[in-house]
Amino acid sequence: MRKFKTESKKLLDLMINSIYTNREIFLRELISNASDAIDKLHFASLTDSSIKLSPEDMAITVSFDADARTITVSDNGIGMDADALEKNLGTIAHSDSQEFKQTNAEAQGDDVDIIGQFGVGFYSGFMVAKQVKVITRAYGSDETNCWSSDGIEGYTIKACDQRDTHGTDVILTLKDDVEGKDGEEGDDYSRFLSEWALRDLITRYSNYVRHPVQMEVSKTRTIEPPEDAPEDAKPEYESYTELETINSMTPIWKKRSADVSDEDYNEFYKSTFHDFEDPARTVSFHAEGTLSYDALLFVPGRAPFDLYSKDYQKGLALYSSGVLIQEKCADLLPDYYNFVRGVVDSADVSLNISRETLQQDRQLMAIARRVERKIHSELVAMRDNEREAYEKVFENFGRGLKYGIYSSYGVKASELSDLLLFWSAREERMVTLAEYAAALKDGQDTIYYACGDDRERVSRLPQVKSALELGYDVLLCTQDVDEFTIQAMRGYHVDAVEGEGDDARDELDLTFQNVSSADFDLASDDEKEAATKAAEDNKALLDAMGKALDGKVGSVTVAAHLSDAVATVSASGPISLEMERVLSQDPAAADNLPKSERVLELNANHPVFAKLAEAQAAGDTERVDLYASVLYDQALMASGLPVDDPIAFANNITKLM
């Protein structure tokens, strides 16, 4: 027996027990090696006319023997002689495939696609096997050699006569099953010794290997009844086996878009990502140059049930030359596009020694940037050309786009703001910020918005009605992230505002204003002057109401323009009423909940205000206090905020009645 070197033994032990974290990938690695062997022979045939190959002859065969507890992966590739066995399997982490790629980088072309990058893939077999045997014959050689090892001490290489043609058989003798103890899960190696299990591993990890991966599969067929069988005889069946190609070989993302129908894309999406609805958008693109890759992306037609749960995992499936590396590579998608599903296939991405995780390098970052730009451009195209479909997409995933602006502290606002949609109170439809800006009143440089949990209720806010009466549009925001997103955006830049004459403006920086803020004021100079005078004339009343609501509001004022409402609650300072409402829904923040500085605004033109003034003039302090409490609670309810004491509110209404 030839001994492994000390450092090789340590590396082998580390690799078997630490480098690979998923035992299932052993078959992926062996199939990838077999594919490389076939490609090497194919490459040799391109430069040596004496090598006669038929594409039909290039195949990989997987078989198993449950009684012997063996799994065999066979290929008819270039094979190895004794020296190659010593070099490639006797030295751990030596990669003949990587060496081949570097030596023949310019000559390979599209006909050869070497997968292997590191020399440890073969040794992943020891994760499940107690003995690995390699029977191989090099092309053009009359000698067959056998390499054998238990993965512990060393290996043997000797001549044998177990193979008649060129190629390689890798035979794994699986470890014995281990029962779990003390609540810990055991090791079930026998689960790999079934047709179903091997088919599943092949289709999951090696479905797009360029060569056929074949297995003898069990089938049944009807036995032809004898001629004299009665008409009501029951049909009889027999079992048989047939060699069947398991993998599909050609990935759909490698095909030209013109050669793939929408139905094919939809079927691939639904079967691969387990959805029952067609995708809302399909994007296929190919990049060549210093970094080459294929990408096939899908915008789902509906939001998955767990999209906003902590268990949801974003990411695109990452392949390298058709071999699945990561089922969900999170690094390829930013969080705000986490709803996108799809595939990226690149032979240029640097992989780590186990191929299970990626090195954080410039190639991966470059692909991620390109994917992000492509998603953005496709969403913009949907917004402009398929508005109804885009509104459905935004309904499903718009919250994530908004959160992307908030979580980046506004850094992503320039990229994502034009993808946002808000309900226009005036237009009664969803509009973009650019569309809102295009309909600005002359001289308007502010985007007005109102927040709440229900669109219909928000549209009836006194401030919203006042703005509409004065000809201003208001965006109605009903998602809990809206206020935080708008605060993070701080403003919106418009390159040009369309219009005629003085209404047209070349460039404009718009600010946002919540109509429920205390400094919201669209009143005319005359209305402001009248409100100031009413406040001065009724200073004693306002002070008395403020005293009655001590601790609940910072002040009681007269509003300059409040439509037909008698009173409303607004907020002064950085914490808006909507922020307080959203933050109050978090039980963990109950003790340290930031409060808005509330202001009760009164309509001096409303008949109720006259009643207040009468009660104040008559010295009826109790009635003034009662009115103040009722009006404040009514204003809270209209703003979607909870009443501090519902029982006291009901009792006050009873007193008034």
Tens of pLDDT, residues 286-329: 988 778 899 999 999 999 888 888 888 999 999 888 888 888 88
Residue 9 has pLDDT above 70, yes or no: no
The per-residue pLDDT for 594 is 75
Q: Which residues contact 23 (CB under 8 A, 6 or more apart)?
A: 127, 128
Residue 584 has pLDDT above 80, yes or no: no
574 vs 266, higher pLDDT: 266
pLDDT, one tens digit per residue, over 365-390 is 889 999 999 999 999 999 999 999 99
437 vs 560, higher pLDDT: 437
Are the beta carbons of 599 and 557 closer than 8 angstroms? yes
Are the beta carbons of 171 and 72 closer than 8 angstroms? yes
Three-class secondary structure of residue 523 per DSSP: coil
Residue 289's region, left for phi above 0, alpha for psi from -120 to 50, else beta, is left
199 vs 51, higher pLDDT: 199
Lowest mean pLDDT among 118-122, 174-178, 343-347, 564-568: 118-122
The per-residue pLDDT for 308 is 82
279 vs 234, higher pLDDT: 279
Q: What is the residue type of 377?
A: S
Q: Which residues contact 350 (CB under 8 A, 6 or more apart)?
A: 358, 359, 361, 363, 364
Are the beta carbons of 562 and 520 closer than 8 angstroms? no
Q: Which residues of 231-256 are buried (b: 16+ CB within 10 A; e: fewer)?
A: eeeeeeeeeeeeeeebbebebbbeee
Residue 570 has pLDDT above 80, yes or no: yes
The per-residue pLDDT for 322 is 84
pLDDT, one tens digit per residue, over 93-144 is 454 544 544 554 554 444 444 444 444 678 888 889 999 999 999 998 999 9
Mean pLDDT (whole number) for 262-285: 92
Q: Which residues contact 235 (CB under 8 A, 6 or more apart)?
A: 222, 223, 225
State the residue for tokens 């409490």.
629
CA angle 334–337–343, rounded 5-degree value: 85
Are the beta carbons of 583 and 593 closer than 8 angstroms? yes
d(CA 279, CA 267): 10
Residue 263 tokens read as 């139905």
d(CA 396, CA 91): 53
Whole-Å CA distances, 651 to 454, 503, 547, 647: 27, 54, 20, 6
pLDDT band at residue 48 using 50, 70 and 90 as cut-offs: confident
